[in-house]
Amino acid sequence: MEKRKLGILLSTPPGHPHVETVLSLSEAATRKGADVYLYLIDEGVKNLRDARMLALAGQGMKYFVCAYGCQQHGVPTESLDPRITLCGLVILSNMVEGCDQFVSFN
């Protein structure tokens, strides 16, 4: 049986309640064996180096960050963890199309 695929979009900055929700949802889905795809956009890119998200990437979550958003919000992208993929909206579009479920936290 093929794994379920969950796509998650986060556009809120650190400290916003949605960040905790996304972390909990990602952890639960990963624990249940789903493939989780997280995309940070807009102010969500400020969560780029959140240790909890990096830990989830270490557990198999696919971690994508909008390169343009980083540029617009002054988020440095040097020396990124290799599990983080800087990309554009084409990847987000593919996530929406390719996942069984897709949720957005704005």
CATH of the domain at 89: 3.40.1260.10
Would residue 7 count as lying in a domain? no
Contact 64, 37 (CB under 8 A): yes
Q: Which domain holds residue 50?
A: 13-105
**Axis-axis angle for helices 17-31, 51-58 (nearest 10):** 10
pTM of the model: 0.96
Tell me, yes or no, whether 2 lies in a domain.
no
- What mean pLDDT comes out for the span 97-106? 97
Q: What distances in angstroms separate CA 17 from CA 41, 44, 58, 73, 76, one per listed residue? A: 16, 12, 23, 20, 24
Q: Match 């995309």 to its residue by tokens.
A: 39
Please tell me the total count of domains within the chain: 1
> CA nearest 4: which of 103, 102, 99?
99
Res. 1: pLDDT tops 70: no
What percent of the chain is modeled with pLDDT above 90?
Answer: 97
In a domain, 4, yes or no: no
pLDDT in tens, 48-66: 999 999 999 999 999 999 9
Which pLDDT value is given to residue 2? 77
On whether residue 5 sits in a domain, the answer given is no
